[in-house]
Structure 1
Amino acid sequence: MSNTLKPIGFLPRFFGAFGQFFKFLGSGDYAARCVAIGSGKKLADEVEPEVITKTVEVVKEVEVQAPALDSVNEDGALQLLQLLQQEARFVDFIKEGIDSYSDADVGAAARQIHNGCSKVIAQYFSIDVVNDSPENSRIEVPTDYDAKSIKLEGRVQGDGPYAGTLIHPGWKVTATNLPKVTNTDSLHILAPAEVEV
Protein backbone atom coordinates (compact mmCIF):
# COMPACT_ATOMS: atom_id res chain seq x y z
CA MET A 1 0.00 0.00 0.00
CA SER A 2 1.28 3.48 -0.81
CA ASN A 3 2.97 5.40 2.00
CA THR A 4 0.92 8.50 1.06
CA LEU A 5 -2.33 6.85 2.19
CA LYS A 6 -3.53 7.61 5.72
CA PRO A 7 -5.57 5.18 7.84
CA ILE A 8 -9.33 5.84 7.85
CA GLY A 9 -11.46 5.83 11.02
CA PHE A 10 -14.30 3.39 11.70
CA LEU A 11 -17.31 5.53 10.68
CA PRO A 12 -15.84 6.61 7.31
CA ARG A 13 -14.83 2.97 6.75
CA PHE A 14 -18.34 1.77 7.54
CA PHE A 15 -20.13 4.21 5.25
CA GLY A 16 -17.48 3.70 2.60
CA ALA A 17 -17.91 -0.08 2.84
CA PHE A 18 -21.69 0.37 2.64
CA GLY A 19 -21.37 2.21 -0.67
CA GLN A 20 -18.61 -0.02 -2.02
CA PHE A 21 -20.66 -3.13 -1.21
CA PHE A 22 -23.41 -2.06 -3.61
CA LYS A 23 -20.94 -0.83 -6.20
CA PHE A 24 -19.14 -4.19 -6.01
CA LEU A 25 -22.45 -6.02 -6.54
CA GLY A 26 -23.58 -3.71 -9.33
CA SER A 27 -20.48 -3.71 -11.53
CA GLY A 28 -18.54 -6.76 -12.63
CA ASP A 29 -15.72 -4.54 -13.91
CA TYR A 30 -15.45 -2.72 -10.57
CA ALA A 31 -15.49 -6.03 -8.68
CA ALA A 32 -12.67 -7.32 -10.90
CA ARG A 33 -10.60 -4.23 -10.10
CA CYS A 34 -11.19 -4.72 -6.36
CA VAL A 35 -10.10 -8.37 -6.59
CA ALA A 36 -6.98 -7.32 -8.52
CA ILE A 37 -6.05 -4.76 -5.85
CA GLY A 38 -6.76 -7.32 -3.11
CA SER A 39 -4.43 -9.80 -4.77
CA GLY A 40 -1.51 -7.37 -4.63
CA LYS A 41 -1.62 -5.45 -7.90
CA LYS A 42 -0.25 -1.94 -7.53
CA LEU A 43 -2.34 1.23 -7.26
CA ALA A 44 -1.88 3.94 -9.87
CA ASP A 45 0.32 6.04 -7.57
CA GLU A 46 2.61 3.04 -6.98
CA VAL A 47 3.32 2.50 -10.68
CA GLU A 48 6.02 4.45 -12.50
CA PRO A 49 4.35 7.05 -14.75
CA GLU A 50 4.56 6.64 -18.50
CA VAL A 51 7.03 8.83 -20.37
CA ILE A 52 5.24 11.78 -21.98
CA THR A 53 6.44 12.30 -25.53
CA LYS A 54 4.31 15.37 -26.29
CA THR A 55 4.96 18.67 -24.52
CA VAL A 56 1.99 20.93 -23.90
CA GLU A 57 2.53 24.40 -22.48
CA VAL A 58 -1.08 25.24 -21.60
CA VAL A 59 -2.48 23.66 -18.45
CA LYS A 60 -6.25 23.89 -18.14
CA GLU A 61 -7.83 23.66 -14.71
CA VAL A 62 -11.37 22.31 -14.93
CA GLU A 63 -13.66 23.43 -12.14
CA VAL A 64 -17.34 22.57 -12.04
CA GLN A 65 -19.45 25.04 -10.11
CA ALA A 66 -22.91 24.32 -8.82
CA PRO A 67 -25.57 26.43 -10.54
CA ALA A 68 -26.78 29.44 -8.57
CA LEU A 69 -30.34 28.97 -7.34
CA ASP A 70 -32.70 31.91 -6.88
CA SER A 71 -35.04 29.78 -4.81
CA VAL A 72 -35.14 26.25 -3.51
CA ASN A 73 -38.12 23.94 -4.05
CA GLU A 74 -37.82 21.50 -1.20
CA ASP A 75 -41.08 19.61 -1.75
CA GLY A 76 -39.50 16.93 -3.95
CA ALA A 77 -36.58 16.43 -1.55
CA LEU A 78 -38.89 16.05 1.43
CA GLN A 79 -41.15 13.70 -0.51
CA LEU A 80 -38.17 11.50 -1.44
CA LEU A 81 -37.00 11.40 2.19
CA GLN A 82 -40.52 10.36 3.23
CA LEU A 83 -40.51 7.52 0.72
CA LEU A 84 -37.04 6.33 1.77
CA GLN A 85 -38.13 6.38 5.40
CA GLN A 86 -41.37 4.49 4.68
CA GLU A 87 -39.75 1.75 2.61
CA ALA A 88 -36.27 1.51 4.15
CA ARG A 89 -36.34 3.33 7.51
CA PHE A 90 -33.48 5.31 5.98
CA VAL A 91 -33.61 8.26 8.40
CA ASP A 92 -33.72 5.90 11.41
CA PHE A 93 -30.54 4.23 10.20
CA ILE A 94 -28.68 7.49 9.50
CA LYS A 95 -29.69 9.16 12.76
CA GLU A 96 -28.91 6.17 15.00
CA GLY A 97 -25.40 5.62 16.33
CA ILE A 98 -23.95 2.30 15.18
CA ASP A 99 -20.76 2.08 17.26
CA SER A 100 -22.34 -0.33 19.75
CA TYR A 101 -23.54 -2.76 17.08
CA SER A 102 -21.54 -5.63 15.65
CA ASP A 103 -20.52 -5.71 12.00
CA ALA A 104 -22.99 -8.58 11.47
CA ASP A 105 -25.86 -6.50 12.90
CA VAL A 106 -24.94 -3.51 10.75
CA GLY A 107 -24.66 -5.74 7.68
CA ALA A 108 -28.11 -7.23 8.30
CA ALA A 109 -29.59 -3.74 8.66
CA ALA A 110 -27.81 -2.59 5.51
CA ARG A 111 -29.42 -5.42 3.52
CA GLN A 112 -32.92 -4.32 4.55
CA ILE A 113 -32.13 -0.68 3.85
CA HIS A 114 -30.70 -1.58 0.46
CA ASN A 115 -33.85 -3.50 -0.49
CA GLY A 116 -36.10 -0.61 0.53
CA CYS A 117 -33.99 2.07 -1.15
CA SER A 118 -33.78 -0.03 -4.33
CA LYS A 119 -37.56 -0.34 -4.37
CA VAL A 120 -38.02 3.44 -4.09
CA ILE A 121 -35.45 4.21 -6.79
CA ALA A 122 -36.86 1.59 -9.18
CA GLN A 123 -40.45 2.72 -8.63
CA TYR A 124 -40.00 6.47 -8.90
CA PHE A 125 -36.92 7.06 -11.05
CA SER A 126 -35.50 5.85 -14.35
CA ILE A 127 -31.71 5.93 -14.09
CA ASP A 128 -29.18 5.24 -16.82
CA VAL A 129 -25.41 5.54 -17.22
CA VAL A 130 -23.91 8.75 -18.60
CA ASN A 131 -21.39 6.82 -20.70
CA ASP A 132 -22.25 3.28 -21.80
CA SER A 133 -18.67 2.23 -22.56
CA PRO A 134 -17.29 -0.57 -20.35
CA GLU A 135 -15.39 0.53 -17.24
CA ASN A 136 -11.59 0.58 -17.70
CA SER A 137 -11.98 1.01 -21.47
CA ARG A 138 -10.17 3.79 -23.33
CA ILE A 139 -12.48 6.57 -24.50
CA GLU A 140 -12.08 9.94 -26.19
CA VAL A 141 -13.58 13.09 -24.70
CA PRO A 142 -14.25 15.84 -27.26
CA THR A 143 -13.02 19.40 -26.83
CA ASP A 144 -16.54 20.73 -26.27
CA TYR A 145 -17.50 18.11 -23.66
CA ASP A 146 -20.14 18.88 -21.01
CA ALA A 147 -18.29 19.38 -17.71
CA LYS A 148 -21.46 18.50 -15.79
CA SER A 149 -21.63 15.08 -17.46
CA ILE A 150 -17.93 14.26 -17.63
CA LYS A 151 -15.34 14.89 -14.91
CA LEU A 152 -11.74 14.73 -16.03
CA GLU A 153 -9.34 13.31 -13.43
CA GLY A 154 -5.60 13.80 -13.29
CA ARG A 155 -3.58 16.54 -14.98
CA VAL A 156 -5.69 18.07 -17.75
CA GLN A 157 -3.48 19.62 -20.40
CA GLY A 158 -4.36 21.53 -23.53
CA ASP A 159 -7.78 22.15 -25.03
CA GLY A 160 -8.66 18.58 -26.00
CA PRO A 161 -9.85 16.31 -27.33
CA TYR A 162 -8.74 14.10 -24.44
CA ALA A 163 -8.13 10.37 -24.30
CA GLY A 164 -8.41 8.49 -21.04
CA THR A 165 -9.67 5.47 -19.13
CA LEU A 166 -13.31 5.37 -18.06
CA ILE A 167 -13.17 4.91 -14.28
CA HIS A 168 -16.92 5.21 -13.65
CA PRO A 169 -19.75 5.49 -16.20
CA GLY A 170 -21.69 8.07 -14.17
CA TRP A 171 -25.43 8.10 -13.52
CA LYS A 172 -28.22 10.28 -14.88
CA VAL A 173 -31.95 10.44 -14.23
CA THR A 174 -33.90 9.96 -17.44
CA ALA A 175 -37.39 10.12 -15.90
CA THR A 176 -38.95 11.00 -12.54
CA ASN A 177 -42.24 9.45 -11.51
CA LEU A 178 -42.77 10.88 -8.04
CA PRO A 179 -46.47 11.26 -7.26
CA LYS A 180 -47.75 14.83 -7.53
CA VAL A 181 -47.83 16.60 -4.18
CA THR A 182 -51.24 18.13 -3.55
CA ASN A 183 -50.86 18.99 0.12
CA THR A 184 -47.47 20.26 1.25
CA ASP A 185 -48.53 21.00 4.86
CA SER A 186 -47.17 17.73 6.26
CA LEU A 187 -44.16 17.17 4.01
CA HIS A 188 -41.77 18.16 6.82
CA ILE A 189 -43.02 15.17 8.84
CA LEU A 190 -40.88 12.37 7.46
CA ALA A 191 -42.40 9.81 9.84
CA PRO A 192 -44.99 10.37 12.55
CA ALA A 193 -44.19 9.70 16.19
CA GLU A 194 -45.59 6.29 17.10
CA VAL A 195 -47.38 5.91 20.44
CA GLU A 196 -48.68 2.59 21.70
CA VAL A 197 -51.70 3.00 23.99
Structure 2
Amino acid sequence: MTNKIKPISFVPRFFGAFGQFIKYMASGDYAARCQAISEGKQFAFEVEPTVITKEVEVIREVEVAAPILDTVNADGAHQLLQLLQQEARFIDFIQESIDDYSDADVGAASRQIHAGCSKVLKQHFTIDAVSTSVVNTAVENSRVEVPSGYDAKQIKLEGKVEGDGPYAGTLIHPGWKVTETRLPKVTNTESLTILAPAEVEV
Protein backbone atom coordinates (compact mmCIF):
# COMPACT_ATOMS: atom_id res chain seq x y z
CA MET A 1 0.00 0.00 0.00
CA THR A 2 1.47 3.38 -1.09
CA ASN A 3 1.12 6.38 1.23
CA LYS A 4 -0.06 9.57 -0.50
CA ILE A 5 2.62 12.32 -0.28
CA LYS A 6 1.38 15.79 0.72
CA PRO A 7 2.54 18.56 -1.66
CA ILE A 8 5.04 21.16 -0.32
CA SER A 9 4.08 24.84 -0.54
CA PHE A 10 6.16 27.46 -2.37
CA VAL A 11 8.06 29.00 0.55
CA PRO A 12 9.48 25.74 1.90
CA ARG A 13 10.33 24.73 -1.66
CA PHE A 14 12.15 28.05 -2.22
CA PHE A 15 14.41 27.66 0.80
CA GLY A 16 14.75 23.92 0.37
CA ALA A 17 15.99 24.35 -3.17
CA PHE A 18 19.13 26.12 -1.93
CA GLY A 19 19.86 23.33 0.52
CA GLN A 20 19.37 20.69 -2.16
CA PHE A 21 21.59 22.67 -4.57
CA ILE A 22 24.41 22.72 -2.04
CA LYS A 23 24.09 18.97 -1.33
CA TYR A 24 23.91 18.26 -5.07
CA MET A 25 27.12 20.14 -5.70
CA ALA A 26 28.92 18.74 -2.65
CA SER A 27 28.13 15.01 -3.05
CA GLY A 28 28.47 12.98 -6.21
CA ASP A 29 26.49 10.11 -4.61
CA TYR A 30 23.62 12.42 -3.76
CA ALA A 31 23.68 13.88 -7.28
CA ALA A 32 23.54 10.34 -8.72
CA ARG A 33 20.49 9.48 -6.59
CA CYS A 34 18.76 12.67 -7.71
CA GLN A 35 19.55 11.81 -11.32
CA ALA A 36 18.13 8.30 -10.86
CA ILE A 37 14.90 9.70 -9.41
CA SER A 38 14.55 12.14 -12.28
CA GLU A 39 14.79 9.19 -14.68
CA GLY A 40 12.06 7.29 -12.82
CA LYS A 41 14.32 4.59 -11.39
CA GLN A 42 13.56 2.85 -8.07
CA PHE A 43 15.78 2.40 -5.03
CA ALA A 44 16.21 -1.04 -3.48
CA PHE A 45 13.64 -0.35 -0.76
CA GLU A 46 11.07 0.63 -3.39
CA VAL A 47 11.46 -2.45 -5.57
CA GLU A 48 8.87 -5.18 -5.14
CA PRO A 49 10.36 -8.14 -3.26
CA THR A 50 11.27 -11.21 -5.27
CA VAL A 51 9.41 -14.31 -4.13
CA ILE A 52 11.69 -17.36 -4.14
CA THR A 53 10.08 -20.77 -4.14
CA LYS A 54 12.05 -23.85 -3.26
CA GLU A 55 11.09 -27.48 -3.01
CA VAL A 56 11.93 -28.97 0.37
CA GLU A 57 11.84 -32.57 1.52
CA VAL A 58 8.98 -33.27 3.88
CA ILE A 59 10.09 -34.51 7.30
CA ARG A 60 7.74 -37.19 8.55
CA GLU A 61 7.07 -38.76 11.90
CA VAL A 62 6.51 -42.51 11.87
CA GLU A 63 3.55 -43.48 13.99
CA VAL A 64 2.32 -47.05 14.26
CA ALA A 65 -1.28 -47.59 15.32
CA ALA A 66 -1.98 -49.98 18.17
CA PRO A 67 -2.93 -53.44 16.92
CA ILE A 68 -6.65 -54.19 16.73
CA LEU A 69 -7.61 -57.77 17.58
CA ASP A 70 -10.45 -59.45 15.76
CA THR A 71 -10.91 -61.79 18.71
CA VAL A 72 -9.78 -61.63 22.31
CA ASN A 73 -8.75 -64.67 24.34
CA ALA A 74 -9.97 -63.58 27.74
CA ASP A 75 -9.14 -66.95 29.32
CA GLY A 76 -5.39 -66.38 29.03
CA ALA A 77 -5.69 -62.88 30.51
CA HIS A 78 -7.74 -64.15 33.44
CA GLN A 79 -5.29 -66.97 34.04
CA LEU A 80 -2.36 -64.54 34.16
CA LEU A 81 -4.20 -62.31 36.65
CA GLN A 82 -4.87 -65.36 38.80
CA LEU A 83 -1.17 -66.25 38.85
CA LEU A 84 -0.15 -62.70 39.72
CA GLN A 85 -2.65 -62.64 42.56
CA GLN A 86 -1.51 -66.02 43.91
CA GLU A 87 2.19 -65.24 43.89
CA ALA A 88 2.25 -61.47 44.49
CA ARG A 89 -1.23 -60.46 45.73
CA PHE A 90 -1.13 -58.13 42.74
CA ILE A 91 -4.88 -57.44 42.62
CA ASP A 92 -4.97 -56.63 46.35
CA PHE A 93 -2.23 -54.06 45.87
CA ILE A 94 -3.78 -52.39 42.80
CA GLN A 95 -7.32 -52.32 44.20
CA GLU A 96 -6.30 -50.72 47.49
CA SER A 97 -5.68 -46.98 47.78
CA ILE A 98 -2.12 -46.18 48.89
CA ASP A 99 -2.72 -42.47 49.49
CA ASP A 100 -2.65 -42.87 53.30
CA TYR A 101 0.55 -44.93 53.34
CA SER A 102 4.04 -43.48 53.58
CA ASP A 103 6.60 -43.98 50.84
CA ALA A 104 8.48 -46.34 53.15
CA ASP A 105 5.40 -48.53 53.67
CA VAL A 106 4.68 -48.63 49.92
CA GLY A 107 8.32 -49.42 49.21
CA ALA A 108 8.32 -52.36 51.63
CA ALA A 109 5.14 -53.80 50.09
CA SER A 110 6.50 -53.26 46.58
CA ARG A 111 9.47 -55.50 47.29
CA GLN A 112 7.21 -58.46 47.97
CA ILE A 113 5.00 -57.70 44.97
CA HIS A 114 8.05 -57.30 42.73
CA ALA A 115 9.41 -60.67 43.83
CA GLY A 116 6.09 -62.41 43.21
CA CYS A 117 5.53 -60.82 39.78
CA SER A 118 9.08 -61.63 38.77
CA LYS A 119 8.53 -65.27 39.75
CA VAL A 120 5.38 -65.47 37.58
CA LEU A 121 7.10 -63.99 34.54
CA LYS A 122 10.19 -66.18 34.81
CA GLN A 123 8.19 -69.34 35.46
CA HIS A 124 5.61 -68.95 32.69
CA PHE A 125 7.26 -66.77 30.02
CA THR A 126 10.54 -66.30 28.24
CA ILE A 127 11.00 -62.57 27.57
CA ASP A 128 13.85 -61.18 25.48
CA ALA A 129 14.88 -57.69 24.38
CA VAL A 130 13.55 -56.74 20.95
CA SER A 131 16.66 -54.72 20.10
CA THR A 132 18.96 -57.72 20.54
CA SER A 133 17.66 -59.37 17.38
CA VAL A 134 17.26 -56.11 15.42
CA VAL A 135 20.26 -53.91 16.26
CA ASN A 136 22.34 -56.53 18.12
CA THR A 137 22.39 -54.81 21.49
CA ALA A 138 20.18 -54.25 24.52
CA VAL A 139 22.41 -51.64 26.16
CA GLU A 140 20.52 -48.38 26.61
CA ASN A 141 22.17 -45.12 25.48
CA SER A 142 24.36 -47.01 23.01
CA ARG A 143 24.63 -45.86 19.39
CA VAL A 144 22.84 -48.14 16.94
CA GLU A 145 21.98 -48.26 13.25
CA VAL A 146 18.47 -49.14 12.14
CA PRO A 147 18.44 -50.71 8.66
CA SER A 148 16.20 -49.63 5.79
CA GLY A 149 12.91 -51.51 5.66
CA TYR A 150 12.89 -52.07 9.42
CA ASP A 151 9.82 -53.58 11.11
CA ALA A 152 7.87 -50.68 12.61
CA LYS A 153 6.18 -53.10 15.03
CA GLN A 154 9.56 -53.94 16.57
CA ILE A 155 11.27 -50.54 16.40
CA LYS A 156 9.72 -47.15 17.11
CA LEU A 157 11.74 -44.21 15.82
CA GLU A 158 11.49 -41.13 18.03
CA GLY A 159 11.94 -37.54 16.81
CA LYS A 160 12.07 -36.40 13.20
CA VAL A 161 12.53 -39.10 10.59
CA GLU A 162 13.88 -38.24 7.14
CA GLY A 163 14.13 -40.50 4.12
CA ASP A 164 13.91 -44.27 4.04
CA GLY A 165 16.99 -45.15 6.11
CA PRO A 166 19.22 -46.57 7.28
CA TYR A 167 19.03 -44.48 10.46
CA ALA A 168 21.63 -43.83 13.15
CA GLY A 169 20.49 -43.04 16.67
CA THR A 170 20.64 -43.77 20.38
CA LEU A 171 18.85 -46.75 21.92
CA ILE A 172 16.61 -45.34 24.66
CA HIS A 173 14.72 -48.60 25.42
CA PRO A 174 15.45 -52.16 24.23
CA GLY A 175 11.79 -53.21 24.01
CA TRP A 176 10.44 -56.57 25.15
CA LYS A 177 8.97 -59.55 23.33
CA VAL A 178 7.64 -62.93 24.46
CA THR A 179 9.52 -65.79 22.83
CA GLU A 180 7.90 -68.63 24.80
CA THR A 181 4.72 -69.03 26.86
CA ARG A 182 4.30 -71.79 29.46
CA LEU A 183 0.94 -71.07 31.06
CA PRO A 184 -0.55 -74.18 32.69
CA LYS A 185 -3.32 -75.86 30.72
CA VAL A 186 -6.77 -75.82 32.26
CA THR A 187 -9.79 -77.92 31.38
CA ASN A 188 -12.45 -75.83 33.12
CA THR A 189 -12.33 -72.19 32.03
CA GLU A 190 -15.55 -71.18 33.82
CA SER A 191 -13.66 -70.50 37.04
CA LEU A 192 -10.98 -68.31 35.44
CA THR A 193 -12.98 -65.14 36.06
CA ILE A 194 -12.60 -65.77 39.82
CA LEU A 195 -9.17 -64.24 40.31
CA ALA A 196 -9.14 -65.01 44.03
CA PRO A 197 -11.90 -66.61 46.13
CA ALA A 198 -13.35 -64.80 49.10
CA GLU A 199 -11.81 -66.13 52.31
CA VAL A 200 -13.93 -66.70 55.39
CA GLU A 201 -12.49 -67.79 58.72
CA VAL A 202 -14.85 -69.96 60.77
TM-score (norm 2): 0.68
Question: How many Å apart are 1:62 and its aligned residue?
Answer: 1.1
Summarize deviations over 1:143-174 as a string: whole Å, max 9, x none.
21111110101111122111100111111111
Matched, 1:162 2:167: yes
Q: Is the 8 A contact 1:130 1:170 kept in 2?
A: yes
Please tell me the residue identity of whatever aligns with 1:61: E
> 1 or 2, which has the higher helix percentage?
2
Structure 2 CA distance, aligned partners of 1:68 and 1:117? Answer: 27
SS of match in other structure, 2:177: strand
Q: Is the 8 A contact 2:88 2:114 kept in 1?
A: yes
Q: Is the 8 A contact 1:60 1:159 kept in 2?
A: no
Q: Is the 8 A contact 2:61 2:159 kept in 1?
A: no
Two-structure CA RMSD over aligned residues (Å): 1.5
1:50-89 alignment, distance < 5 Å = 57-89=57-89
1:153-192 alignment, distance < 5 Å = 153-192=158-197
SS of match in other structure, 1:131: helix
Matched, 1:124 2:129: no
Deviates more, 1:121-130 or 1:134-143: 134-143
Question: How many Å apart are 1:66 and its aligned residue?
Answer: 2.3
1:136 maps to which of 132, 141, 147: 141
Q: What corresponds to 1:113 in structure 2?
A: 113
Structure 1 CA distance, aligned partners of 2:94 and 2:105? Answer: 15
Structure 2 CA distance, aligned partners of 1:69 and 1:127? Answer: 22
Structure 1 residue runs without a partner (length 5+): 1-55
SS of match in other structure, 1:186: helix
SS of match in other structure, 2:71: coil
Q: Which has the larger radius of gyration?
A: 2
Q: What corresponds to 2:90 in structure 1?
A: 90
TM-score (norm 1): 0.70
SS of match in other structure, 2:180: strand
Runs of 4+ with >2 A deviation: none
Structure 2 CA distance, aligned partners of 1:182 and 1:84? Answer: 20
Q: Is the 8 A contact 1:124 1:177 kept in 2?
A: yes
Question: Identity of counterpart residues, as a percentage?
Answer: 77
Summarize deviations over 1:93-131 as a string: whole Å, max 9, x none.
000000111111100100000000000000000011111
